[in-house]
Amino acid sequence: MTNYPELAKTILEKSGGVANIAGVSHCATRLRLAVNDSDKVDVSGLENTPGIMGVIKRNDDIQFVIGTDVSNVYSEFIKLGNYKKSGKVDEQGKKNWFGVAIDFISGTFMPMLPILVAAGLISAILTIGTAFFGMNTESGTYTVLSAIYNAGFYFLPVYLGFSAARKLGINPFMGAYLGCILLFSTINGAEGLNFLGLPITQVTYSQSVFPIILGVLFMAVVEKVLDRIPKEVRYFLKPILLILIVTPVTLLILGPIGTWLATGLAKVLVWINQYLGFLSVGVIGAVTPLLVMTGTNQALFPPCLAAVAEFGYDPFILPGMLAANTAVGAAALAVWIKSRNKDMKATGLSTGLTGVFGITEPSIFGVLLRLKKPFIGAMIGGAAGGLFAGIVKLKQYAIASPGVATLPTFIPPDGSMTNFWMAVITVVMAMVVSFIATWLLGFEDPIEPAE
């Protein structure tokens, strides 16, 4: 069993100590540190530390692949330096704009993914309950479950406003406040509004992503200006000026731009899917492990959300990720069966099951990248499953990390089961091809027990 306090202490020491840490956060499986001097980080020593499956270094951003118990390590780590949870990460220095954008997207969307997963699975429960078990849509049970589902997506701007503001290092409640304003009944989807005589474009903000993101980014800029207000009056002047400036600009300019971006992005994804046909989903199935390896897979969540908000489903990225995730898990399971190394077998089993259920970082960093050839086997399986998903035009109807556990999200609202069974076949095909490819490609079995 992992000693979380000891692991956190080791990470801190080998990362240059308290003075070298600019910020700390975590996602589903990775502890993320922003460091002041990356040369002080002992990457080799950290890679060989028990409990760490992999280390990813991007300039001054260091990511440690821990697994699904990363929150335990994170909780212990912030105690050592008295860091604030999800503290502000210094985005300056050597980082390029692409890295900054990926870090912002990841840091904003990852904390709220449990809400989307829970809401998406409740949607599947409602579909199954009404279609197959006679659940009365007028019953109290249905009403409560429906509220749980709808609240997960309807109030998306509030969650995003809070998370984005926290990521940018400004008051997260002001970001949530802006989200609440956009959703207020007299503004959300209202016609004929104006502000100081300027017409406000009609926009439906519920379930939207980009308007609140743009609004909070603008809020961060305005806050820096308002910080120049004398401290004697800043406490009460700053919040009122901040919201009075940001709200009209968001309603008049940023909201319509964000809506246009979301609609355009969703249509571009559909166009790519239609233009390349089933090949596009196969490509996603093949390259997703590479995206996960580099941490750039987080950039796929905004377009997925845009597609679901615009059309009610995603026919492109999420189906491809379903094939990729289960293929990664199957490759790790093949290692579990074929390896003669006791520790590698244990790692292959535990990470393989996690991967099949939709969380692939432990499999990728704990097994596939260590042995190399199984990584290729997983890509082959992901491509095969993705091609099939593309051919049958598979769709996922809710945002949730695709895997065996979230297969109910492939059931459409009308309760028809064809799409669901195509998802099951996609999983089976991806896993079988990945398992066979990994077995045939083979790998160099570690002689000594894996660390």
The percent of residues in the chain predicted with pLDDT above 90, rounded, is: 41
pLDDT for 56 beyond 90: no
Query: Given pLDDT bands bounded at 50, 70 and 90, which one contains residue 235?
Result: confident
Show me where the domains of the chain are located: 4-94, 155-266, 277-441
Number of other residues whose CB lies within 10 A of the CB of residue 264: 13
Which whole-number Å values give the CA distances from 66 to 105, 126, 184, 252, 360, in the listed order?
21, 34, 41, 44, 12
Burial of 180 from C-beta contacts in 10 A (0-12 / 13-18 / 19+): middle
**DSSP labels, 150-192:** HHHHHTHHHHHHHHHHHHHTS-HHHHHHHHHHHHSTTTTT-SS
Q: In what order do the strands lie in the sheet with 30-35?
A: 21-26, 30-35, 61-65, 54-58
Backbone angles phi, psi at 172, to 5 degrees: -65, -25
CATH superfamily of 4-94: Glucose permease domain IIB (3.30.1360.60)
Q: What is the pLDDT of residues 4-27, one digit of tens each?
A: 889 989 999 999 888 888 888 777
User: What CA–CA distance (Å, rounded) separates 255 from 248?
Assistant: 10
Exposure b/e, 308-325, CB count within 10 A at least 16 = b: bbbeebbbbbbbbbbbbb
Choose the weakest-confidence range: 140-144, 217-221, 327-331, 400-404. 400-404
Q: What is the pLDDT of residues 284-305, one digit of tens each?
A: 999 999 888 766 676 777 788 8
Q: Output Rg (C-alpha) for the chain, integer angstroms.
A: 23
Query: Given pLDDT bands bounded at 50, 70 and 90, which one contains residue 388?
Result: very high
**Nearby residues of 318 by Cβ (< 8 Å), 6 or more positions away:** 304, 396, 399, 402
The angle, 0 to 180 degrees and rounded to 10, between the axes of the packed helices 278-294 and 373-391 is: 150
pLDDT at 96: 57
pLDDT at 451: 43
* pTM, 2 dp: 0.69
